[in-house]
Structure 1
Amino acid sequence: MSTTIAFLGCGSMSEAIMAGLLRSGFPAGQVRATVRTTARAAWLADTYGVTATATEDTDANVRAATGAGIVVLGVKPGLVREVAAEIAPVLAPDTVVVSVAGAVPLANIEAVLPAGQPVVRSMPNTPARVGYGVTALVAGAHATPPHLQAAKDVFATVGLVVEVDEDQIDAVGAVSGSGPAYVFYLAEAMAGAGERLGLPADLARTLAAHTVAGAGRLLDDPDADPAALRRAVSSPNGSTERAIAAFEERGMRDVVAAGTAAAEARAKEITHELG
């Protein structure tokens, strides 16, 4: 398998993955990227030293994919099949095609690629930008363990990698894919609560942001247990225990469960809408 990696559609998520790969020591000369505009292509080339071209040149995706060992499809979900079909004629039999687009099943991608082409579906999240991402991978029908390992090696440069079945991917997206937004929402709510208690807005935001970030670092321990960490902060009959009791009385767990269920349901709807 060639060691060249092509990122077709290098938006914020693909850029984060590419940056992590380069930080790990992967040679910039073996990375290609395609983007929509020449300005963005020039910026990527100047910033990372990779070969970047704009799809204003209609052959950009084909040239980037030719001879690549891994091709990362980072375009919008509605364009995944179109781009996959575009590059199909130039893919080597062992080129691993990795999709980072949500809501596009493996079978839909495999259907427009050469028979037997290895495909891996991924579900990364935004903390990949700072090396603390979570990426779930699903192996396609023709992806062997070495193919899957090649994809794992790429995503491991930006955080934790787990392997799941495809029927679990929407649930994974509802927890880790959308999860950062839930945490940011909690930080917003904490800051707002601090303001209502009389704190200046800037101070309340700073306290909330750093508290959430610090709590995340505590959870980063492989042996960390969220429930045990919560109990350690909650002294019997203390103020924290009173706050947790208020959350429980108002059904916070049910609210979180309802939110993740809604996210999973919407992911399935989007898949259906995309056909």
Structure 2
Amino acid sequence: MTSSAAASTNASDFEFPVIAMIGTGNMNGAILAGLTAGRGDGAEPIRVTTRSTKSAEQFADDDAVLARAAEDDPEANREAVRGAGAVILGVKPYAIVDALEEIAPALDPGAVIISVAAGVELATMEAHLPEGAKIVRAMPNTPATIGLGATGIAAGRHADAEAMALARAIFESVGAVVEVPESGIALVGAVSGSGPAHVYLLIERMIEASERIGLSEEDARALVVQTFRGAVEMVARHPELEPAELRRRVTSPNGTTEQSVRVLVESGLEDRFEAALRANIARSEELAAEHR
């Protein structure tokens, strides 16, 4: 599998077309926040659709957003996508086909359709859109809500370089982006899509262990959280250094760190991580089969 994190686009300088967002769940909400941050005066509002009137009302005083509620307007989704150059589908996987069939007649021929629905393959979506539709499949993660997301994007059959540049710019507004073939989306899901849960589990277990050896709950949490934050930032700030080298710099021969690292390595941590990722990918493939 090949991937590309190169040719990065500066999202703040990108000239976006009219954007429509179908659904405003956590992920679309994060993307919306990224796209509206720092938008200049006179920029076309981002068209958003919600199921309920109450959800749409939260955007009433936001000039950067034009919200419609399906509860009030059965044509809300079709009106939102009409004339839009990019359509971001944030509905649940089980609702993707219905959403595509609903908006298909109103789509502009050149519109780029971006799906963040896990487990729904490009071929499945292409079957419910006009021939030649430019579809991009994306796998973002929840840290996008604080602008630190990691997203993998994959091109459909007709998604050209321009379509991919647009998708990249959209997700770079909330973090980092890599381009992969569709076969890599499940891998992205295992590593970064589900990855935050794996990291939270490590933090959780390290806090619990710290308490068992005698630290207070408050001190254990403060030290562990700051340690993870600092270690990750060291890796991010020093791309010239492999994580293994950073680890070696903390690990003095016959020292205390060497002993704790040895216990972790001998516990089979490496194999456990690989097994966890493979289990994740297997489940992703099962879900994809259910949506075909």
- TM-score, structure 2 normalization: 0.90
User: For the Cα contact (< 8 Å) 1:152–1:161, is it kept in 2?
Assistant: yes
Provide the rounded CA distance (Å) in 2 between the counterparts of 1:39 and 1:180: 30
* Deviation of the 1:81 alpha carbon: 1.3
Pair 1:2–1:231, CA change in 2 (3 A) = closer
* Deviation of the 1:48 alpha carbon: 7.0
Provide the rounded CA distance (Å) in 2 between the counterparts of 1:150 and 1:231: 41
Pair 1:105–1:193, CA change in 2 (3 A) = same
Aligned length: 275
Q: In the alignment, which of 70, 90, 102 is matched to residue 74 of structure 1?
A: 90
Higher RCO, Cα 8 Å, sep 6+: 2
Provide the rounded CA distance (Å) in 1 between the counterparts of 2:185 and 2:40: 28
Query: Alignment partner of 1:41: what SS?
Result: helix
Q: Which residue of 2 aligns with 1:37?
A: 52
User: For the Cα contact (< 8 Å) 1:119–1:139, is it kept in 2?
Assistant: yes
Provide the rounded CA distance (Å) in 2 between the counterparts of 1:53 and 1:232: 55
Q: Which residue of 1 aligns with 2:70?
A: 55
Indicate whether 1:274 and 2:286 are aligned. no
User: For the Cα contact (< 8 Å) 1:37–1:55, is it kept in 2?
Assistant: yes
Q: In the alignment, which of 210, 231, 253 is matched to residue 215 of structure 1?
A: 231
Q: Which residue of 2 aligns with 1:170?
A: 186
* Deviation of the 1:140 alpha carbon: 0.6
Pair 1:29–1:248, CA change in 2 (3 A) = same
The ranges of structure 1 where at least 4 consecutive aligned residues each deviate by more than 2 angstroms after the TM superposition are 24-30, 44-49, 221-224
**One-letter amino acid matched to 2:243:** P
Q: Structure 1 stretch 111-120 or stretch 43-52: which is displaced more?
A: 43-52
Q: Deviations over 1:37-94 (max 9, x none)?
A: 2222111344674111222132111111111110000000111111011000011111
Q: Which residue of 1 aligns with 2:28?
A: 14
Structure having the higher helix fraction is: 1
Q: Deviations over 1:4-49 (max 9, x none)?
A: 1011011111111111111253666420111222222111344674
Identity across matched positions, percent: 45
Provide the rounded CA distance (Å) in 1 between the counterparts of 2:240 and 2:39: 29
Q: Which residue of 2 aligns with 1:23?
A: 37
Pair 1:237–1:46, CA change in 2 (3 A) = farther
Q: Which residue of 2 aligns with 1:225?
A: 242
Q: Structure 1 stretch 166-175 or stretch 29-38: which is displaced more?
A: 29-38
* Deviation of the 1:132 alpha carbon: 1.5
Provide the rounded CA distance (Å) in 2 between the counterparts of 1:45 and 1:182: 37
Q: Which residue of 1 aligns with 2:166?
A: 150
* Deviation of the 1:189 alpha carbon: 0.7
**One-letter amino acid matched to 2:269:** M
User: For the Cα contact (< 8 Å) 2:16–2:166, is it kept in 1?
Assistant: no
Consecutive unaligned residues of structure 2, counting only runs of 5 or more, are 1-14
Provide the rounded CA distance (Å) in 1 between the counterparts of 2:60 and 2:225: 33
Q: Structure 1 stretch 213-222 or stretch 192-201: which is displaced more?
A: 213-222
User: For the Cα contact (< 8 Å) 2:124–2:291, is it kept in 1?
Assistant: no
RMSD over aligned Cα atoms: 1.7
Superposed, 1:233-248 pairs within 5 Å as 233-248=250-265
User: For the Cα contact (< 8 Å) 1:3–1:30, is it kept in 2?
Assistant: no
Provide the rounded CA distance (Å) in 1 between the counterparts of 2:241 and 2:143: 19
* Deviation of the 1:224 alpha carbon: 4.1
Provide the rounded CA distance (Å) in 1 between the counterparts of 2:30 and 2:75: 25
Query: Alignment partner of 2:136: what SS?
Result: strand
User: For the Cα contact (< 8 Å) 2:22–2:50, is it kept in 1?
Assistant: yes
Query: Alignment partner of 1:134: what SS?
Result: strand
User: For the Cα contact (< 8 Å) 2:111–2:133, is it kept in 1?
Assistant: yes
Provide the rounded CA distance (Å) in 2 between the counterparts of 1:24 and 1:102: 29
